[in-house]
């Protein structure tokens, strides 16, 4: 998927005027993708979360 299409999805069907509902839609989409990709998706999510946590711990904050 290219960046343009990804951004269209974020701004379209995954967007909601209330931020908490946008977040829920994003979480459900992530869950669907992980389930659809099986073990590879699970590993990718685990690795992403591990790297994110390590970066946060190195930086001492929870920013992107």
In the chain, % of residues over pLDDT 90: 92
| 27 domain-assigned | yes
Q: For residues 3 and 51, give the distance between their C-alpha atoms in angstroms, rounded to a whole number.
A: 22
Q: What's the mean pLDDT when you consider all of the chain? A: 95
Q: Does some domain include residue 7?
A: yes
Residue 30 located in a structural domain: yes
Q: Measured between alpha carbons, how far is 55 from 64 in angstroms, rounded to an integer?
A: 9
Distance CA 16, CA 20 (A): 8
pLDDT of residue 63: 61
Q: What is the pLDDT of residue 60?
A: 83
- Domain limits for position 29: 3-59
pLDDT tens track for 38-64: 999 999 999 999 999 999 999 986 565
d(CA 57, CA 1): 31
Structural domain contains residue 13? yes
Q: Tokens representing 8?
A: 């269209």
Total-model pTM: 0.81
Residue 64 domain flag: no
* Residue carrying structure tokens 């992403």: 48
Over range 9-38, report the average pLDDT.
Answer: 98
């Amino acid at each position: 998927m290219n960046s343009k299409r990804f951004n269209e999805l974020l701004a379209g069907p995954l967007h909601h005027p209330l931020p908490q509902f946008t977040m829920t839609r994003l979480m459900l989409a992530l869950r669907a993708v992980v389930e659809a990709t099986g073990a590879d998706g699970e590993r990718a999510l685990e690795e992403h979360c591990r790297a994110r946590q390590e970066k946060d711990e190195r930086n001492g904050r929870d920013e992107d």
